[in-house]
């Protein structure tokens, strides 16, 4: 394949045979919009006690919906199409009736998610959202969500969903709630201890 410009010719730069096709969404517009309407942002136009307007929220959900719709257009399987359709349907509901506040997780939450080491990924493991093989990327950034199914996703695919919805895209578990550890109480033993201490 011939080089495209004089610089490449002069420096003997050869173009790669064919860059790999990537279906991962470009969420830079989403990130910018989220930063604009976030109460945590120091340069946010919103007051600290006021959340995003319904128009802001609808716009944010629209950006995620549009990216998933783009992925849907060249979806490689019926399973991926069905999954994307379910995500888009939920986002459409939020666009039509925006919530009073964005229920998603913060960036710190995304940063703290468990990363899946490359050696633990199998050859045919794919991201449920973009349907790309994880191992097609030389440096895959795969995260495992703390839901019952321990679902795995490319971080760049699942990040916008988590930041806008706060649930696992697969099982819809609410990931915004902290895990509560319940200690079983035995009332009779407790009464015996109290009676023994103060008796």
Rounded mean pLDDT of 67-94?
95
pLDDT score, position 23: 67
Using the predicted structure, report yes or no on whether residue 73 has a pLDDT greater than 80: yes
| pLDDT in the model for residue 180 | 47
- Reported as type and span, the H/E element at residue 115 is strand 114-115
pLDDT at 35: 79
CB of 127 closer than 8 Å to CB of 154: yes
pLDDT at 198 over 90: no
On the 0-12 / 13-18 / 19+ scale of CB atoms within 10 A, 156 is middle
**Coil, strand or helix at 75:** coil
Tokens of residue 172, six digits:
């819809």
Average pLDDT over residues 137-157: 94
Q: Kindly tell me if the per-residue pLDDT of 52 is higher than 60.
A: yes
The 10 Å CB-count burial string (b at 16+, else e) for 111-139 is: eebeebeeeebeeeebbbbbbbebeebee
pLDDT given for residue 181 in this prediction: 47
Mean pLDDT of 136-156: 94
Higher per-residue confidence, 178 vs 198: 178
Give residue-wise pLDDT tens across range 106-132. Answer: 999 999 999 999 999 999 999 999 999
């Amino acid at each position: 394949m011939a080089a495209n410009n004089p610089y490449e010719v002069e420096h003997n730069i050869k173009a790669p045979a064919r860059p790999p096709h990537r279906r991962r969404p470009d969420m830079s517009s989403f990130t910018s919009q989220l930063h604009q309407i976030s109460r945590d942002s120091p340069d946010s136009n919103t007051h600290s006690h006021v959340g995003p307007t319904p128009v802001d929220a609808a716009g944010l959900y629209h950006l995620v919906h549009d990216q998933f719709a783009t992925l849907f257009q060249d979806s490689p399987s019926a399973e991926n199409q069905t999954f994307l359709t379910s995500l888009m349907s939920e986002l459409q509901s939020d666009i039509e009736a925006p919530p009073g506040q964005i229920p998603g997780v913060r960036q710190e939450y995304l940063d703290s998610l468990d990363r899946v080491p490359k050696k633990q990924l199998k050859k045919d493991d794919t991201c449920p959202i973009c349907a790309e093989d994880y191992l097609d990327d030389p440096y895959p950034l795969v995260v495992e969500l703390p839901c019952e199914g321990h679902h795995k996703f490319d971080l760049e695919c699942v990040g916008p969903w988590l930041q806008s919805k706060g649930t696992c895209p697969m099982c819809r578990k609410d990931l915004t709630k902290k895990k509560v550890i319940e200690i079983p109480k035995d009332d009779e033993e407790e009464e015996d201890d109290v009676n023994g201490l103060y008796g």
